[in-house]
Amino acid sequence: HFGSSQCGSKYKGSAPRPASLPDAPVRRPRTPQHLPAMSQSERGCLPCTNCFVTVPQDKWYAVEKFGRYSHMLKPGLAFAGGDCCGCCITYRSITSRVEQIMCTVTTKTKDNVFVTAQVAVQQSVKPENTVDAMYKLADVRAQIDSYVSDVVRSSVPHMTLDESFEKKDDISLSVQAKLQEEMSNYGFIIHKALVTELVPNAEVVHSMNEINKQKRLRDAAIMAAEAEKIKVVKAAEAAADAAQLQGEGIARQRRAIIDGLRDSITHSTNEELSTAKISELLLITQYFETMRDIAAQSKAQTVFIPNGPGAVGDVASQIRNGILAGNAAAPGQQRM
């Protein structure tokens, strides 16, 4: 066998450990989130005895004599009784703080979409039922997680994905009512149960975003078409108003021309012009106005018109013949 002096000399200093001895496992301290919400064993404040103990303000201590529950201790320094090396008296503690437990539940909606629900449960120990909280449940977190999973998986499958988002409060109330009913038997108070998050499958989220995007694009296209329609309608209304005003202006212009021609011709003779003569004069005037507009607006720089002394008479004769032909054809059109 190895003596203490031999072991000390063999592993003294910076000498490496033998390869045959495995490395000790590294123990990482568990965070408060992973600590089980159950009672824990405690030691007294004096070495080799549990006669005296210091009780923190945020915990309840139970005194056990030979493994059997005796009584509870208040915060502060307390004397539990005679003890020898911790064989007679032991202590068990549980926190009095409000703790939050996060539960994750995966379930399926009515429209066959898998969602992951995050439920936060705030619970604490009833002051009058600390004994039940210490000795009835081995793992409070596992028990609460089971109840939460049962309620969520029985509620969400009756809802569509949109309804599950709209009725998160209803799911929270159902979970809270179930936990308050069940956990009160174990000495725990359920302060609040909240569905903090509903996360659908990533592909479903992408599809929902794409649907929303296409809907927005459709609305934008409709609005753009409506704006273009308004532009076209307003342009047509403006053109109609402009044409109406232009026609009224032309009518007034022709009326003024006719009145001027009548006055200039009949001023000295006191002769009254017939309607045919007035129309003939008006058509001759329009003919020359048309020729003027062609010369002004056409791309051609030269317009060929009759320039002899009888040119005006020829134009008047042609217009007169056209009027007579039209008057002759009018009765036949009426008979038809």
For residue 119, pLDDT beyond 90: yes
Can you say how many angstroms the Cα of residue 283 is from the centroid of all Cα atoms in its chain? 71
Domain annotation covers residue 23 = no
What gap in Å lies between CA 86 and CA 93, rounded to an integer? 16
My answer on whether 84 and 38 are in the same domain is: yes
My answer on whether 178 and 235 are in the same domain is: no
My answer on whether 148 and 195 are in the same domain is: yes
Task: For residue 193, give every residue at least 6 positions away whose Cβ sits within 8 Å of its Cβ, in sequence order, or none.
Answer: 119, 120, 121, 122, 148, 172, 175, 176, 179
For residue 331, pLDDT beyond 90: no
- Residue where one domain finishes, among candidates 77, 96, 115: 96
My answer on whether 174 and 114 are in the same domain is: yes
What are 55's strand-pairing partners? Answer: 76
Domain annotation covers residue 25 = no
SS3 11: coil
My answer on whether 111 and 172 are in the same domain is: yes
User: What pLDDT score was predicted for residue 27?
Assistant: 38
Residues 205 and 228: beta-carbon distance below 8 Å = no
Q: Name the residue with higher pLDDT: 20 or 66.
A: 66
Domain annotation covers residue 191 = yes
- Residue where one domain finishes, among candidates 165, 200, 235: 200
For residue 10, pLDDT beyond 80: no
User: Cβ of 231: how many Cβ atoms within 10 Å?
Assistant: 10
My answer on whether 74 and 92 are in the same domain is: yes
Q: Name the residue with higher pLDDT: 302 or 101.
A: 101
Can you say how many angstroms the Cα of residue 231 is from the centroid of all Cα atoms in its chain? 33
Q: Name the residue with higher pLDDT: 24 or 64.
A: 64
My answer on whether 138 and 158 are in the same domain is: yes
What DSSP assignment string belongs to 198-259?
A: EEE-HHHHHHHHHHHHHHHHHHHHHHHHHHHHHHHHHHHHHHHHHHHHHHHHHHHHHHHHHH
Domain annotation covers residue 2 = no
What gap in Å lies between CA 54 and CA 61, rounded to an integer? 9
For residue 26, pLDDT beyond 70: no
Q: What percent of the chain has pLDDT over 90?
A: 26
Confidence of residue 2 (pLDDT cuts 50, 70, 90): very low
Confidence of residue 193 (pLDDT cuts 50, 70, 90): very high
User: What pLDDT score was predicted for residue 317?
Assistant: 73
Domain that holds residue 255: 206-268
Count of domains observed in the chain:
4
My answer on whether 145 and 237 are in the same domain is: no
Residues 156 and 211: beta-carbon distance below 8 Å = no
For residue 90, pLDDT beyond 80: yes
My answer on whether 190 and 247 are in the same domain is: no
What gap in Å lies between CA 322 and CA 301, rounded to an integer? 30
Domain annotation covers residue 195 = yes
Residue 120 sits in a domain of what CATH number?
A: 3.30.479.30
My answer on whether 84 and 56 are in the same domain is: yes
My answer on whether 313 and 239 are in the same domain is: no
Specify the residue for token string 């404040």: 45
- Residue where one domain finishes, among candidates 268, 290, 312: 268
Structure confidence by residue, pLDDT tens digits, 226-235? 999 999 999 9
User: What pLDDT score was predicted for residue 291?
Assistant: 74
